[in-house]
Amino acid sequence: QLTALLEKANVVVIGPGLGQCQWAQQMLSTVLGYEHKRLKVLDADALNLLAQYPQRLTDCVLTPHPKEAARLLQSSVTEVEANRFDKVQELARSYQATSLLKGPGTLICSADKLTINSSGSNALASGGMGDVLSGIIGALLAQG
């Protein structure tokens, strides 16, 4: 059933509300292993599952907050926060994915470019805002 939905999608946002059970791991594996090129945005539980079962990615955007980034890099939150520039670049390199490290001065890193988003406020650090951000990124990617 998921494959039929993937046929219709240009972009897949996966993670928010997914859970971390075996079914969720199967869904993530299906999306990541889908044979046709689809852009993918990974957030929340998809990032936690990826940390448990690391793999190289194609056509993906990772959107971790510092704790999720620490899991993905097998590091500590303190180390991620102290070395944000290095860690977002390590994420992009390790997973071959555009990586967006959330926090004050959100960092966006692709293979050859690093951008700082200096806008926003502490209000963005509340539950559900990352899910909304992932959806917005997915919608913008779908527009081309």
The predicted structure's pLDDT at residue 106: 96
- pLDDT of 121 strictly over 90: no
In angstroms, what CA-CA distances link 99 with 4, 5, 21, 40, 70?
Answer: 28, 25, 24, 12, 13
Give yes or no for a contact between 59 and 38, defined as CB atoms under 8 angstroms apart: yes
**Considering the entire predicted model, what is its pTM?**
0.95
The range of the structural domain enclosing residue 117 comes to: 2-142
The predicted structure's pLDDT at residue 47: 99
Share the mean pLDDT of the chain: 95
The predicted structure's pLDDT at residue 56: 81
Q: What is the CATH number of the domain that holds 45?
A: 3.40.1190.20
pLDDT category, 63, cuts 50, 70, 90? very high
pLDDT category, 133, cuts 50, 70, 90? very high
- What's the number of domains the chain is made of? 1
Give yes or no for a contact between 117 and 108, defined as CB atoms under 8 angstroms apart: yes
Single-letter amino acid code for the residue at 11: V
Q: What is the pLDDT of residues 5-42, one digit of tens each?
A: 999 999 999 999 999 999 999 999 999 999 888 999 99
